[in-house]
Amino acid sequence: EVQLVESGGGLVQPGASLKLSCVASGFTFSDYWMSWVRQTPGKTMEWIGDIKYDGSYTNYAPSLTNRFTISRDNAKSTLYLQMSNVRSEDTATYYCGRYYGYNYWYFDFWGPGTMVTVSS
């Protein structure tokens, strides 16, 4: 059974950094491109970016390129999202998602999400 489980969320002060993790199981993690998506408290869904199966290539939403970094450790079947200089508008639930396959850029599995609240 495919499972994705995010962790690392919580309350963080503006300007701080935070690293989220997503542990995958039930499939060969190193075969899949992976992605992060966030959902604001108002329920808006925003694609953050993605990473190639071997970690050699990343894509980001233009508005987030300079502050967010996606990485992965295939030996640990874990996806990461490094967030820096966080702002109040980064308050959201963060989901990791698995793409169905290369060139099929939709999500066939999602984790339950981890909530990040940016507030002083």
Partner 1 sequence: ETTVTQSPASLSMAVGEKVSISCKTSTDIDDDMNWYQQKSGEAPKLLISEGNTLRPGVPSRFSSSGYGTDFVFTINNVVLGDEGIYYCQQSENVPLTFGSGTKLEIK
Binding-site residue total for partner 1 (CB under 8 A)?
20
Positive or negative, the CA dihedral 84, 55, 106, 6 is: negative
- Which of 9, 53, 58, 59 binds partner 1 (CB under 8 A)? It is 59
**Alpha-carbon span 111 to 50, nearest angstrom:** 15
Scanning the chain, the segments in alpha helix (DSSP H) are none
Beta bridge partners of 25: 3
Tokens at 29, concatenated: 């993690």
Draw the binding track, 18-57, toward partner 1 (x: CB under 8 A; -: no contact): -----------------x-------xxxxx----------
CB of 45 to partner 1, least distance (A): 4
Give the range of 13-21, 66-74, 76-84, 97-105 binding partner 1 by CB under 8 A: 97-105
Region for residue 85 given its phi and psi (left: phi exceeds 0; alpha: psi -120 to 50; beta: otherwise):
left
Pick from 34, 81, 113, 118 the residue near partner 1 by CB under 8 A: 113
Q: State the residues that interact with partner 1 by CB under 8 A.
A: 35, 43-47, 59, 61-62, 95, 100, 104-108, 110-113
